[in-house]
Structure 1
């Protein structure tokens, strides 16, 4: 089918995901009329309606759902071909794309991938930081071979393997009333103003839920966009912050902080490795295996 070229399929997938031609056009940097023309050509050639048009957008038909599935698989394969051929052209024997959440990249993922890179020197590994939902979507869409993040989201049809765990803690300045405690419950931190770390939205949702269940309110005094900024705010004595304890201990001495583990069950986070159910390249398969071995051995240094 001539109309079902890669560009048309990519635009078709964008419309399916956005549910709106105008939104898809903005996402793909193309005028809406061009997308509408391509969709009309695809429907004409296929002989079936792929969308039901409405005032508020489009709804994918049963035929459209079938094409959506095959289109995504085809585009993933084309992206993989382009990526791997480009790597060979540069004399590299393989390439693996990894999307990781902020906590995974700040703690254990770089060291584990570093060990892999020393063994497989002809494999290029790219790591990109993404929000948790972007990690899952990136793997689903084939933009990443491997995803590593907290298991607090729905992984849908992806295959997941246990990775490292971390434990959340409250970070306070030296001399703070909680600084001499071996551990505290999250509810005990609600008597103090917190730093709102905007980039960690899912973690913030968990905290608000826990505060609501206890009949208390989580009070944010200052909003920051990075964990490093949060540490500085805490060091200045302006607020406390909930962060991964392992991550905070790396800077506590330099900044004069005290890291106190939380006793709540939700404070222990399980990270996972996510992949698609098929089509994993040999280099990616080798990296997944090394990450699983590192996790089993407790390699978090």
Structure 2
């Protein structure tokens, strides 16, 4: 067998995305080259590593074994890079970070900008996912770190506080419910919603609460970010639920009513999670220390 690190990273990306095309894109590789590398790995082993379907791929038992060992090899490589970074100028480290909607829109941009400016030898692969999917990925070794709401089942992962976050309802000032001091999620379930795009971690979270209430949200339109959502709400398109920080930024027009949600799940603590913080690479531990600065106390 002559697998190189590019082969191993590519194979992990293919398995993580469930697609050779998406895995090739994540690896910055042409599809033809990615397919040839996978075939080369399978030829070298003499067994198929992927089951191929019309809508994607999944690993065979042999492929799952390759995934396990690829994670171990690449994790050890990152640890080596971190330990050698002090001695080897230009040696790049890589940290994979998954985040829910609230953190990726409201808190991480500023926090990561400062960290990356101070650490030019570290690259970060940042991806948005729902909190429960982040926990699964970190536990499986598919990511170094995650930022999730602490109300999700964290299993055996270690955590550190990151930021506090509260979900609020946003309504047009003329809405019949806008005069209340606070409102519950149940009070809004009959209203037309302005939501976030499919795949948004926050929208998946809200859809889950609606499902548990035996209902579903009725969307008039779905947009990519909370600021655009607020702009449509203030024009009377519907109601919405966003992080409080995003809602407060949109108050400048004076046409928006921001109302606290009375539901117990509305106030949330966002936490950093990892399988074992002490076992992270030096680059990842440095990122954890930076993101943990000025963290709030648990709710």
The alignment's TM-score, normalised by the length of structure 1, stands at 0.71
| Distance of aligned partners of 1:14 and 1:115 in 2 relative to their CA distance in 1, 3 Å threshold | closer
| Residue segments in structure 1 that go unaligned for 5+ positions in a row | 44-48
1:108-167 CA-to-partner distances (Å, cap 9, x unmatched) read 34555577789xx46666666521258668867988654323357676775333332312
Q: Report what 1:191 is aligned to.
A: 190
Would the aligned equivalents of 1:99 and 1:129 in 2 still touch at CA under 8 Å?
yes
In the aligned structure 2, how far is the partner of 1:199 from the partner of 1:281?
33
Q: Report what 1:70 is aligned to.
A: 69
Q: Report what 1:288 is aligned to.
A: 288
SS of aligned partner of 1:247: helix
Aligned positions of 1:95-244 closer than 5 A: 98-110=97-109, 112=111, 121=118, 129-132=126-129, 145-151=144-150, 158-198=157-197, 201-214=200-213, 216-244=215-243
Would the aligned equivalents of 1:199 and 1:226 in 2 still touch at CA under 8 Å?
no
In the aligned structure 2, how far is the partner of 1:198 from the partner of 1:112?
24
RMSD: 4.4
Aligned positions of 1:4-15 closer than 5 A: 4-13=3-12
In the aligned structure 2, how far is the partner of 1:270 from the partner of 1:168?
11
In the aligned structure 2, how far is the partner of 1:137 from the partner of 1:87?
35
- How far 1:183 sits from its partner (Å)? 0.8
SS of aligned partner of 1:296: coil
| Distance of aligned partners of 1:213 and 1:139 in 2 relative to their CA distance in 1, 3 Å threshold | closer
| Distance of aligned partners of 1:295 and 1:240 in 2 relative to their CA distance in 1, 3 Å threshold | same
| Residue segments in structure 2 that go unaligned for 5+ positions in a row | none
Count of matched residue positions in the alignment of Structure 1 and Structure 2:
288
The alignment's TM-score, normalised by the length of structure 2, stands at 0.72
Q: Report what 2:245 is aligned to.
A: 246
| Distance of aligned partners of 1:232 and 1:126 in 2 relative to their CA distance in 1, 3 Å threshold | farther
SS of aligned partner of 2:103: helix
98-107 or 77-86, larger mean C-alpha shift: 77-86
Q: Report what 1:46 is aligned to.
A: none
Please say which structure displays the higher CA radius of gyration: 1
In the aligned structure 1, how far is the partner of 2:116 from the partner of 2:22?
40
Q: Report what 1:42 is aligned to.
A: 45
